[in-house]
Amino acid sequence: MKFRCEREALERALGLASRAVSTRGGSLPVLSGVHLALVGNELRITGSDLDLTISVGVEVAGDTDGITVLPAKLASDIVRAVADGKVEFAVEGEEAHISAGRSEFSLRVIPADEFPQLPEPAANAVQLDAAVFRDALRQVIPAASADDSRPILTGVLMAAESDGLRLVATDSYRLAVRDLPGTSVLTGDESVLVPSRSLNELARVLDAGAELTLRLGEHDATFEMAGARVTTRLIEGEFPNYRGLIPASQPNRLTVNRELLLDAVRRVRLLAQEATPVRLIMKPDILELVAVTQDVGQAHEAVDASYDGAELTVAFNPDYLLQGIDVTGGDEVTLETVDELKPALLRMVGSDEFLYLLMPVRVS
């Protein structure tokens, strides 16, 4: 194998593919490497831990076709460190030679025949609006759990919903639901559970202007865009009945400027230490935010708001509240509540496509 490539393009491709490389000590040693395959002037770099696979294509000046596997981190670090301009790459025997400017490196390669044969993507394909889908991922992924002992909750549910697609994530403390009307991916009561980690990596790769293709297989999902492909194994199991968590009605409704609320929560949160919640005291025409940490201090701030309902104090985990306000979007948001113990709903004013449900924290 022999080729030349611009350093910046090679660095990006290695960096993206390396994000799928296995970091688990008990996995196959070859999975700590990236697989390089050169055909003509197209170089394809692939990293995989068998659950997630990221493959990126790069246009190069090809000389000799071939395949090899390089230690992922070391290869990425070398290409990142060399001077801008052309990088020359060649494999001879059991060594790969990388040179740029006056820098020269040689690396022991990993036998390419040890790299596992990865499944081909499913034939059936649907097109998605890349910008809308990336925005939806940004809204729902933060609500998924990071606790691998509960794998079902680490996934994002993709389900058919009326005339479109619904994305749902929950860690049992908050719930995010985003509807994509007119996006026909699944039909009837079909649904799949996609690992949030994989979707997070997809969001990193996804260019808002790119065309995005989704191929759903029996056990995996593949997302294709210009020059890159992300394949993930689906999570098996039944997602919780999230519909039962959403209150049928909320008698109390607060409307407030989103940026003002976001800034106020950020400031008050400074005194919400040691798992201290932030209290929201809702009154007509005013919202008060309070955080008190014993032996440390307290913070108080008032924000102009419109409130319809009985005077109420509700406490929330400040990090979960901040994330919800941030991803909801829009100029104004509403916070709908039943009482201080029931789930609260955060929505953007003028849109029903996204909701963020947040469990209050019990305080004395």
Which tens digits make up the pLDDT trace of 140-178?
A: 999 999 998 999 999 999 998 878 899 999 999 999 999
Between 252 and 186, name the one with better pLDDT.
252
Between 57 and 25, name the one with better pLDDT.
57
pLDDT of residue 187: 77
Contact 56, 17 (CB under 8 A): yes
Question: Is residue 23 very low, low, confident or very high in pLDDT (cuts 50, 70, 90)?
Answer: confident
Question: Is residue 218 very low, low, confident or very high in pLDDT (cuts 50, 70, 90)?
Answer: confident
- Indicate whether 53 pLDDT > 60: yes
- Indicate whether 25 pLDDT > 60: no
pLDDT of residue 274: 84
Mean pLDDT of the chain: 93
The share of the chain scoring above pLDDT 70, in percent, equals 99
Question: Is residue 209 very low, low, confident or very high in pLDDT (cuts 50, 70, 90)?
Answer: low
Between 226 and 324, name the one with better pLDDT.
324
pLDDT of residue 305: 96
Question: Is residue 73 very low, low, confident or very high in pLDDT (cuts 50, 70, 90)?
Answer: very high
- Indicate whether 357 pLDDT > 70: yes
Between 363 and 240, name the one with better pLDDT.
240
Domains of the chain and CATH, by start: 2-114 (3.10.150.10), 126-244 (3.10.150.10), 246-358 (3.10.150.10)
Q: What's the whole-number mean pLDDT along residues 51-70?
A: 96
- HSE-up of residue 175 (Cα within 13 Å, Cβ side): 21
pLDDT of residue 208: 63
pLDDT of residue 348: 96
Determine how β-strand 306-308 pairs with β-strand 252-257: antiparallel
What does the alpha-carbon distance between residue 76 and residue 2 come to, in Å, rounded to a whole number? 18
DSSP state of 352: -
Give the ranges where the chain is alpha helix by DSSP (H). Answer: 7-18, 72-81, 130-140, 196-205, 258-269, 318-328
DSSP state of 85: S
- Indicate whether 26 pLDDT > 70: no
Q: Is 148 exposed, middle or buried (0-12, 13-18, 19+ CB in 10 A)?
A: exposed
- Indicate whether 345 pLDDT > 90: yes
The share of the chain scoring above pLDDT 90, in percent, equals 79
Q: What's the whole-number mean pLDDT along residues 227-240?
A: 93
To the question of pTM greater than 0.85 for the whole model, the response is yes
Q: What's the whole-number mean pLDDT along residues 352-364?
A: 93
Who's near 150: CB < 8 A, 6+ residues apart? none
β-sheet bridge partners, residue 56? 45, 228
> 98-150, pLDDT tens digit by residue?
999 999 999 999 999 999 988 888 878 888 888 999 999 999 999 999 998 99
> 258-303, pLDDT tens digit by residue?
999 999 999 999 999 888 999 999 999 899 999 999 889 999 999 9
* Residue 196, Ramachandran bin (φ over 0: left; ψ between -120 and 50: alpha; else beta): alpha
What does the alpha-carbon distance between residue 304 and residue 324 come to, in Å, rounded to a whole number? 19
